[in-house]
Amino acid sequence: MTQAPGTIRMPRPALHVDVQVARGDQQIAAAFDVAPGHPLAVIGPNGAGKSTVLASIAGLVPLEAGGVRIGDRAVDAEPPEARRIGVVFQDYVLFPHLDVRDNVAFAARMRGGSRAAARAAAEPWLDRYGLAPLADRLPAELSGGQAQRVALARALAAEPEVLLLDEPMSALDVEVRAEMRAELATHVREFGGATVLVTHSPADAAALTDSVLVLEAGRVTQRGTLDELRAAPATPYVQRMLAASAE
């Protein structure tokens, strides 16, 4: 079950999303497919419903209608713990009472087995993410970049079939953002499964993928590559966003 990072994996399944979610009075609807190894960036203004769509895929908010499939497996009736969907939350939401090692070992521990076995399974992940020197630290003692690394290692150590990233850069200082973008892109490539990135920054999206979906006020307003969006922005928001990022 536990797999050392870097070993060759089976081909990973695609993610098929067609969801309708209610948030207060707002109805949010989005439909898209994500192929393994080809991340999709969901871009939109604040309050567009991006994070809600992500949460619905993970099973953290209930669907009004529609469904979520991973390969041939319909997961929308399954609880979050059975979906095998990894999530990196906006402010990382590390377990404050566990050190870095036990945060990364959490999924292995939940699968059963002893604490020692879970910690042993976490070691290669700690090494791979450069976290071994920080293994004994508590989340409160980490910088933003370090916390992001832990959050990613913790999610991927659970060996999910799908990875969801919710504004992973927004909690970081501007100076480290460029560096962390490159690092994140590397790790997502190595993960190789279907990946969805939620962001309001075209630069964050561009670091990870060329494939973009624009969500505004709960509706998908455009889909395409960044170049296609630039050539023919479908809404004033898309135009403003890309103009702002070009500066």
Partner 1 sequence: MTAASSRSSRRRIAHSAGRLAWPIAVMAAAALALLVLPLLALVLRAPWADLPGLLVRESVLQALVLSFGTALAATALCLVLGVPLAAVLARASGWPTLPRRLLRAAVTVPLVLPPVVGGIALLQLLGRRGLVGGVLEDAFGITVPFTTGAVVVAQVFVALPFLVFAVEGSLRSANRRTELAAATLGASRWQVFRHVTLPLVAPGVAAGAVLCFSRALGEFGATITFAGSLPGVTRTLPIASYLAMQSDPDEAIALALLLLAVSIAVLVGLRDRWLPGVRA
Contact positions vs partner 1 (CB under 8 A):
58-60, 79-87, 89, 93-97, 106-107, 109-111, 154-155, 158
Q: How far apart are the first and last CA of the chain?
A: 47
- Cβ 29 to partner 1 shortest distance, Å: 22
Measured distance CA(29)–CA(49) in Å, rounded: 9
Q: Which is nearer to partner 1, 91 or 210 (CB)?
A: 91
- Cβ 135 to partner 1 shortest distance, Å: 18
Dihedral sign, Cα of residue 206, residue 170, residue 244, residue 46:
positive
Q: Which is nearer to partner 1, 56 or 211 (CB)?
A: 56
CA 245 distance to own-chain centroid: 22
> Which residue, among 19, 91, 22, 31, has the nearest Cα to 58 in the 3D structure?
19
State which amino acid sits at residue 48.
Answer: A
Contact yes or no for 150/105 (Cβ under 8 A): no
Q: Which residue has the tokens 């994996």?
A: 9
Q: Which is nearer to partner 1, 41 or 150 (CB)?
A: 150
- Cβ 53 to partner 1 shortest distance, Å: 15
- Cβ 159 to partner 1 shortest distance, Å: 10
Q: Which is nearer to partner 1, 106 or 129 (CB)?
A: 106
